[in-house]
Structure 1
C-alpha cells in the first residue's frame, strides 16, 4: 500500500469517525434520547435561547451525514467548530477528564482539534464528493 493510499484511508477513517460522532450526538442523543424539546430546555437552563438547541441538532445531524458521505467536508468541519467550541466551554468548569460529573472538556477539545485537521486536509479520495462533476464548486466536492 502506497503512502498516498494510506493517507486516503486515514482521511476516510477520520472523516467517517467525526461524522458518526456528530450524527450520534445530534440525532441519537439529542433527538432520540433527550428529545428536541428536552434539549431545548437544557440549553435554556444553561443560558442559551431554546432555538440554539434546534440549530445544534440540525448542524450535528446534517453535518454528520455530510462528513460520512464526504461532501462539503471542509465547509462542514468549519461549520461544526462553533458547536464544539461551545461544548468545550460548557464543560471547562467541570475539569479536564470527561469522566468527571457532567463531563470534562478533554473530549470536546480533542473533537474540535480533529475538525480543524479535517478542514485542513479535506475529504480524501474515498468520498462521494470526489465523484461529483468537476463543474460543481470545489467546496461541494471537498
Structure 2
C-alpha cells in the first residue's frame, strides 16, 4: 500500500524542470538581494578588506558580477552553469574576507556559524551541475 501511494505521489510531483526553475529562482533572487545592497551602498568596505590583505581594491567590483550579474543570468536561465560557478566562487571569497572566523562556531540555536554561506555555496554548485532545465528565456540549449 505504501509503495502504491508513493508511486501515485511520484507521478503527481515528477516535474524536474519545474524543480530546477524553482531552485534557480530561489537562489538567484536571494543572492540578488545582497547585490542590490552592494549597488545601494557600494563596495568600498570590501575594497578596504582586500587592500588590508595586500590585494588591489578594484577586485571588490567583482562582487557585482557574483551578486548581480550571475544571479540575473541564473534567474533567466542564460549561461546558468557558468553563472552558478561564479556565484559559488563569490561565496568562497566572501567567507574568506568577511566571515571566515565563524568556521568553527555554532550559533545559539545549534546552527553552524557559516550555515547560510554554505547553503548558498552548495546551492550554486547544485545549480551548476543540474543546469537550467527547459524553463529559460532562451530556447537554444547551448545558451542555457
TM-score strictly above 0.5: yes
5+ residue gaps in structure 2? 1-11
- Deviation by residue 1:113-137 (Cα, 9 ceiling, x = unmatched): 11111111110121113x23x6xxx
Task: Structure 1 unaligned segments of length 5 or more: list them.
Answer: none
Counterpart of 1:87?
A: 94
TM-score normalised per structure 2: 0.74
Name the residue aligned to 2:122: 113
Size of the aligned set, in residue pairs, is 129
Q: Would the aligned equivalents of 1:96 and 1:106 in 2 still touch at CA under 8 Å? A: no
- Decide whether aligned partners of structure 1 residues 105 and 48 sit closer, same or farther in structure 2, where only a CA change above 3 A counts: farther
Distance 1:42 1:111, change over 3 A: same
| Distance in 2 separating the partners of 1:119 and 1:98 | 29
- Scaled by the length of structure 1, the TM-score of the pair is 0.75
Extract structure 1 runs of 4+ deviating beyond 6 A: none
What is the CA-CA distance between 1:78 and the residue it aligns to? 1.3
Assess, with a 3 A threshold, how the Cα gap between structure 1 residues 92 and 39 changes in structure 2: closer, same or farther.
closer
* Structure with the greater alpha carbon radius of gyration: 2
Q: Aligned pair 1:30/2:30, yes or no?
A: no
Does 2:55 align with 1:69? no
